Amino acid sequence: MWLLEKALRRAIRKGELTVIDAGGNTYRFGAPEAGMNPVVIRFTDTKVPREIVRDPALGAAEAWMDGRLLMIEGEILDLVQVIRRNGRWEERGAKGGFRAKSKGVAARLDRLNWRRRSQRNVAHHYDIGNALYRLFLDEDLQYSCAYFRDPSDTLEQAQEAKKAHIAAKLALEQGQRVLDIGCGWGGMALYLHKHFDVDVLGITLSKEQLALARERAEAAGVAAHVRFELIDYRDIEGRFDRIVSVGMFEHVGPPHYRTFFRKCRSLLAEDGAMLLHTIGRMGGPSTTDRFTAKWIFPGGYIPALSEVAAASEKERLILSDCETLRLHYYHTIRHWYERTKAHEAEIVALHDARFYRLWLFYLAGAMTAFSEGAMVNYQLQYIRNRHALPFTRDYMADAEAALANRR
């Protein structure tokens, strides 16, 4: 316990954290901080402190999942927030705060997402059953950052606004062919067809998502115009007027960035446009923490803007617009977290209590990564030809306003 005590004594200044070890000894860290709840945790065995010191995120998560780290006062979000607030990205030194050293070689190997491995990685997260996602997502099953015109917006309002925000940047015209890379449960593809009368091909590697997306297109009577296929982006052929990709690029991996952009350029019409929506990190390149890589998104990696730009510019794609959404995902995940808590009994029945605690830890960590950590969202618009889009950005606001009036 002494190593963990030393680390926490050095790291925790803001917020109150009390730790009770397996022997009943009590250690207090930090001081009261406005907006932060006091946290009291207890370890049930002597191994927990060593595991947390060895790898803070993974060690704490697995101890919490296994019931060996107990929340006595506060909830898991409060604990994660105390840790993250004391290492806030804007306030860190060059070496950061209380974090495990990155496992360089293992992290780089984990980013190698070949076709078969990509399929397996996607199945790990997305093929655990649509029932879970229905419990905490909005009605349209948008599993990506929403767009809050105001923090008081409902999740449904913000996700509808997200689709409009992206659609406006695509400058769509009736009859165009659109490719949706990583189409999820089909919500974006169906939205684009409904409002712009375009033909959309959505591709995914998730069998669960594919089945439901096709079912939704059939139910809406648009299956002839909105098609969904189980296919890797590297295997798509043809030419498209527009390409949209929302929340998929995080699964590509840096070794494949140039392949991704080369393929997109080959698929994009000469006067076409592409909108890439991805989680990104402020600052330079980094690694994926071992908790996320092991339990949540194997093969996943959050890129720095410099990594995306370096790969796309080598493939002669023009970055025609770039927007950074700084806090929108924080508000999105806050809704997901609260909805997950509200459906604890159903999630435990679908999976088990350990899975419920895993999911809650994942969402708490993700939420605070956007409020305290290095995470943001990037919306990057690409074109092949500098004359492909209007001279100014005014068309985006005009299209977005028009979509808002159609609701």
pLDDT tens digit sequence for 165-223: 999 999 999 999 999 999 999 999 999 999 999 999 999 999 999 999 999 999 999 99
Maximum separation of any 2 CA atoms in the chain, in Å = 70
Q: What's the chain's average pLDDT?
A: 93
Retrieve residue 49's tokens.
Answer: 């402190």
Provide CB contacts within 8 A for 392, sequence distance 6+: none
Q: Between helices 56-65 and 353-371, what is the axis angle to 10°?
A: 150
CB 306 within 8 A of CB 285: yes
Q: Is the model's pLDDT at 118 over the cut of 70?
A: no
Provide the edge-to-edge strand list for the sheet that holds 375-383. Answer: 226-230, 199-204, 177-181, 240-246, 268-281, 375-383, 318-325
Q: What is the rounded average pLDDT of the residues 260-276?
A: 98
Residue burial 17-28, b: 16+ Cβ < 10 Å; e: rest: bbbbbeeeeeee
The DSSP call for residue 22 is T
Task: Look at residue 116 in the predicted model and tell me its pLDDT.
Answer: 61
Provide CB contacts within 8 A for 138, sequence distance 6+: 146, 155, 156, 159
Q: What angle do CA 90, 16, 353 make, to 5 degrees?
A: 95
Q: Is the model's pLDDT at 367 over the cut of 70?
A: yes
Q: With the CA atoms of 88, 381, 165 and 241 taken in that order, what torsion angle do they form, in degrees rounded to the nearest 10?
A: -150
Task: Label the pairing between strands 26-31 and 15-20.
Answer: antiparallel
Phi (first) and psi of residue 368, to 5 degrees:
-75, -20
* Residues 292, 281: Cα–Cα separation, whole Å: 15
Question: Looking at domain 107-405, what is its CATH homologous superfamily?
Answer: Vaccinia Virus protein VP39 (3.40.50.150)
Q: What is the rounded average pLDDT of the residues 54-68?
A: 96
Q: Where along the chain do its domains lie?
A: 2-91, 107-405
Q: Is the model's pLDDT at 312 over the cut of 80?
A: yes
DSSP string, 105-131: HHHHHHT---HHHHHHHHHHHHSS-HH
For 49, the enclosing helix (H) or strand (E) is helix 47-54
Q: Is the model's pLDDT at 372 over the cut of 60?
A: yes
Q: Is the model's pLDDT at 96 over the cut of 50?
A: no
Task: Look at residue 98 in the predicted model and tell me its pLDDT.
Answer: 46
pTM: 0.93
pLDDT band (50, 70, 90) for residue 125:
confident
DSSP string, 271-334: EEEEEEEEEEESSS-----HHIIIII-TT--PPBHHHHHHHHHHTT-EEEEEEEESSHHHHHHH
What is the C-alpha R_g of the chain?
22
Q: What angle do CA 89, 282, 386 make, to 5 degrees?
A: 160
* Residues 279, 36: Cα–Cα separation, whole Å: 26
Task: Look at residue 94 in the predicted model and tell me its pLDDT.
Answer: 53
Q: Which of 278, 292, 281 is nearest to 375 (CA)?
A: 281
Retrieve residue 308's tokens.
Answer: 């995306």
Categorise residue 84: left if φ over 0, alpha if ψ from -120 to 50, beta otherwise.
Answer: alpha
Residue 401: C-alpha distances to residues 22, 160, 221, 378, 406 (Å): 58, 13, 27, 21, 9
DSSP string, 187-208: HHHHHHHHHH--EEEEEES-HH
Residue burial 34-53, b: 16+ Cβ < 10 Å; e: rest: eebebbbbbbeeeebbebbb
Q: What angle do CA 321, 325, 330 make, to 5 degrees?
A: 160
* Residues 159, 138: Cα–Cα separation, whole Å: 8
